[in-house]
Amino acid sequence: MFFEFRNRNKTIKELRKNKCYTVKELADKVNLNPSIINRIDSLKLKEVPEPVKSKVLPFLR
């Protein structure tokens, strides 16, 4: 809960780079297509659609 409040204005790319994940590595961990990760990469955490956000968020904590 506190993670989301602190980082909701950061982009997915920033959070992904902080954890040293490439697009392909994160997509493999989350079981999503890399094109979906590329599509949300420039979005802020608060703008990401809920189904994708719930899958990605545990790996970016």
pLDDT digits (tens, 9 = 90+) for 36-55: 999 999 999 889 999 999 99
CA dihedral 26, 48, 4, 61 (to 10 degrees): 0
User: Helix (H, G, I), strand (E, B), or coil: what is residue 11?
Assistant: strand
**pTM, two decimal places:** 0.81
Residue 26 CA neighbour count, 13 Å, CB half? 28
Domains of the chain, each with CATH number or no CATH: 2-60 (1.10.260)
pLDDT band at 4 (very low <50, low <70, confident <90, very high): low
Assess whether pLDDT exceeds 70 at residue 1: no
Q: Which alpha helices (DSSP H) does 1-61 contain, by range?
A: 2-7, 12-18, 23-30, 34-40, 50-60
Nearest to 53 by CA among 38, 34, 37: 37
